[in-house]
Chain A
Amino acid sequence: MKKPPEWSISIGFNIFITTLGIVFVALLLTGLVFLLFFSATLNGLVERNAREINKQIVMNFESYINSVIETANYIEFASYNRDLTTEAAALSELLRQNVNLKRDVLAIFLFDSTGNKVLGSGLDVARRDSVASQAWFRTTVATDGVFHFNDWQASSLVDSREDLVIPVSKSFEFLNGGRLERGVLLIELNNAGLTDLARKTNLGRDGFLLIVDEAGSLLYSSEASPDRRTAPALAVVADLFMGGQRHDLAGTEMFVNVNTLGQTRWRIVTISNADESAGLARRLIVLLLFILAVITLLAALFSGLISMRLSKPISQLKSSMLEIETGKFIAPIEVRGQREIVSLAHSFNSMIGKLQDLMARLVDEQQEKRKTELRALQNQINPHFLYNTLDSIVWLAEQQRNKDVIATVVALARFFRISISKGQNFISLAEEMEHVRHYLTIQSIRYVNKFTYGFDVPDELLAGKVMKLVLQPLVENAIYHGVGGEGGHIAIAARQRDGFLVLSVTNTGYGISDEKIALLCKAMRGTAEKSSVGLRNVYQRLKLYYGESADILVESRPDESTTISLLVPLAGPEERS
């Protein structure tokens, strides 16, 4: 199995990110749409409201203007067909009454076309001369048929009055000596009526009202400190003749609404705070962000929990699989969690079980096969040995050593009988020793005086079963490789030690070096090229039948002796199913 690529993401993280992503995007979109819709609606509402207030204010002013016009109309109507020359007193009274009646009216004058006073009282003599040259007088004469609400004047035409006044004038026809003459009617208003109206209007925090003339010059501002926002508002009004606009005035977002004031050339400008709605939208954004954060956090928490619940058993399963990948079979996995994962783990466990069975069976089969092979090997009669023995028998017969011939043939027969031993694998130690003794008998007849031999086997061990034909190859080695020259000795011993039956073959001789011992051990395990067939066979059979604890030890004392010991577990051969 390949290693997973670097960018691969775990299931749990996937679930976590997906859930979180969906929740976040959905919330963000909802919030955004809501915010857009809300602020659009709110802006529209506030703007409409500002316009409506402006309209209402203008209508209030209009009714004030109309009351002034009514006064003029009444004078015009009441003086209809009344001749100035005959009814001067009555007409003067008419004007005086109207001045007294109307709180805001300071004075009413009628001037002829040259600016001379015809009617009205209290005209400041010094100012009289200038009437014809006044701007309002000239425009009134120039444009008849309409009322002129003129630029506000710093002082009245009436003596002893220094109020800020609004001259309202109109071209006026009057009878003078039976002749219709054209003059100018002037009504002087104090500005209290308009300024009171302006002051009473509630335009909210920072809101104020301007009255400008047709050229956009300021007539009146209700702002407490007129320099702050009035000046920038006037700049706006220079291009704005009607309707509303948003403008930044002295750092605050304001609605500027403009309307004309009926019957006049004036415009009423209302300025109200638009920042309040922006502030509301800002608060909403903060609230939405807070909700977004909280819900995202909750979603993260829950999706984290869910993904953990879901992915934990899977990752357990995964780590188990990885262990199996390395070849270790472990105890069945215990997985708790989702039903699917649990059943997956169960299936996995049973699969692993079957796999283990299968592998065990495979190993067993391999071992059986090996055993069969080894048995076949062990049963093989060394043809050299047979040939040599037969050769020595022939030699003995030639020498007429009949007793020796008999002994050799008997030993050979016994040797073979034990070798076969009815096909059994395990024989008693006594039989094994017998087998070796027969072998030594034959070999000692063949190699006269080459070596002596001795057995040291306690009687209580003789009955114990041992794998057959394990000592003969050792003894064979001792004869061919150990004892050199004449007078060697081979000692065969059996001992019981630490749960092992130790069978040793010691021979005198030069001994073997440590390097040679190491080589020998390698040869036994079958890893070296050159090997002693006999020793390796014994070693492998021991391992195969007795398990790993069985072993062969090689010790050597240079120029003295070499001992090869077989460690056979007393527990007997390992039972394998």
Chain B
Amino acid sequence: MRNSTVIRESWPTSGRLAAWPAGVLIAALMALAVAGCAGGDPLVGLFLYNEADPYILEFGRQILGAAPSGFAIKKFDAANSQPIQNEQIDNFLDRRPDLLVVNPVDRLGAYAIIQRARSAAVPVVFFNREPLAADMALWDRVWYVGAKAIQSGRLQAELVIKLFGGDPAHLNAFDRNGDNVIQALILKGEQGHQDAEIRTREVLHSFEERAFRVEVLALEIANWNQAEAYEKIHHLLRQYQSAIELVISNNDAMALGAISRMRQNGWFNDADGNGVIDSRDPDWTPVVGIDGLRAAEQAITEGYLYGTVKNDSLSMALAIIELAEFLLGRRSGSSLSATVEDGRYIWVDYTPYVYQP
């Protein structure tokens, strides 16, 4: 009889043993859940439309570089696909971030991003591509940091006007044929692209306003792309040869592509052999770009590229970070270095950039 008593007494023990694995499992799951919630740094998502675009690649780096310590920034590249970017944003919002910084692929699709962020109550800062005003008005926690495309075209025209002497009636020696009309090639970004359209339209419009006569010898579309510009300008150089007095490019990449082909075709001479192309050489033809890539600055220093209009990504990056700090409650609204227009827009000026010895 004692035997059975002993075994009965061991029952609760075996019961505990059986319950043990379940307990451990639950404890482990809870630990995981707790670990998942941990982390004090504000989580910020940075969504770039396409890192294959050198300007955006650099922009992204500048934003990351400008971020102070204590910011956990996750960067995503949408590879120029809005569905991919949508998926990235949708998934990222499940991680309960504090802020989204978005360079949309498709500015028309921004309304969906705003609505999605709004449902998750996560503020959004757009940059580089401006959503429609109607979409910006969907929610009061949406901001935009960017530059006005109109300004870029105008400043580009200013650079050219300055180079040609500033007097529409009497152009200087850069008007090689002396007809008081600037014969120009235009390298356009992407047909139908808002920036390409505005830049092209505004540069021509500015000349018109200032009464400078410009004859567009040819307008070529090179899709913002250096290699495409290099290919497409080839036949134009052959066709117009020295009649070309100016090359206007919608961006630096295409300008650099054009310069590569021009150099290959023997357009630039280093007369004094100092490693710098001399703009006083009578065969020198000015090329102007927009964006202010590092490679473009280099080309300006070397004398190949006359000038560019800096789409000041560094200032924009700083403005984005300042705005982010403000939105995360780490900075007062009054300490922002940029002015906020209409409560939600920060405009960063383009700046002309030419060689300064």
Contact = CB atoms under 8 A, between A and B. Distances in A.
Given A10-B4, A22-B14, A59-B81, A262 B108 contact: yes
A77 B191 contact: yes
B86 A242 contact: yes
A4 interface: yes
A436 B21 CA distance: 95
B213 to A, nearest CB: 13
Contacts of A554: none
Interface in A38-81: 51, 54-55, 58-59, 62, 69, 72-74, 76-77, 80-81
B16 to A, nearest CB: 12
Given A14-B7, A241-B115, A260-B82, A146 B108 contact: yes
A242 B114 CA distance: 10
Interface stretch (A201-209, A263-271, A380-388): A263-271
B34 interface: no
A87 interface: no
B194 interface: yes
Given A14-B7, A146-B107, A243-B87, A262 B82 contact: yes
Interface in A233-253: 239, 241-244
A240 to B, nearest CB: 8
Chain B interface, DSSP helix/strand/loop, else mixed: helix
B78 to A, nearest CB: 11
A114 interface: no
Interface in B110-152: 111-113, 115-116, 119, 132, 134
A285 interface: no
Nearest to B216: A81
B108 A73 contact: no
Most A C-beta atoms less than 10 A away, residue of B81, B105, B109, B191: B109
A241 B18 contact: no
Contact of B198 (A7, A9, A145): A145
Contact of A18 (B3, B14, B84, B216): B14
Given A73-B191, A262-B106, A29 B22 contact: yes
B194 A59 contact: no
Interface string B3-18: 1110110010010001
B160 to A, nearest CB: 19
A487 interface: no
B354 interface: no
Contact of A8 (B5, B81, B84, B116): B5
A145 B4 contact: no
Contacts of A126: none
Contacts of A14: 4, 7-8, 11
A4 B1 contact: yes
A426 interface: no
B101 interface: no
Most A C-beta atoms less than 10 A away, residue of B1, B83, B84, B192: B83
A325 to B, nearest CB: 11
Interface in A1-40: 1-2, 4, 7-11, 14, 18, 21-22, 25, 29, 33
Interface string B194-223: 100110010000000000000010010100
A147 interface: yes
A241 B107 contact: no
B112 A21 contact: no
Nearest to A146: B108
Contact of B86 (A173, A259, A264): A259
Contacts of A11: 3-4, 7
B8 A146 contact: no
B89 interface: yes
B25 interface: yes
A143 interface: yes
B72 to A, nearest CB: 22
A76 B105 contact: no
B90 interface: yes
A243 B1 contact: no
B112 A145 contact: no
B108 A264 contact: yes
Interface of A: 1-2, 4, 7-11, 14, 18, 21-22, 25, 29, 33, 51, 54-55, 58-59, 62, 69, 72-74, 76-77, 80-81, 143, 145-147, 170, 173, 214, 239, 241-244, 258-265, 267, 314
14 contacts: A2-B1, A9-B7, A10-B4, A11-B7, A72-B192, A143-B132, A143-B134, A239-B119, A241-B112, A241-B116, A243-B91, A259-B112, A260-B83, A262-B106
Given A8-B5, A9-B8, A55-B87, 5 more contacts: A14-B7, A62-B82, A242-B112, A243-B91, A259-B82
Interface of B: 1, 3-5, 7-8, 11, 14, 18, 21-22, 25, 81-84, 86-87, 89-91, 105-109, 111-113, 115-116, 119, 132, 134, 191-192, 194, 197-198, 201, 216, 219, 221
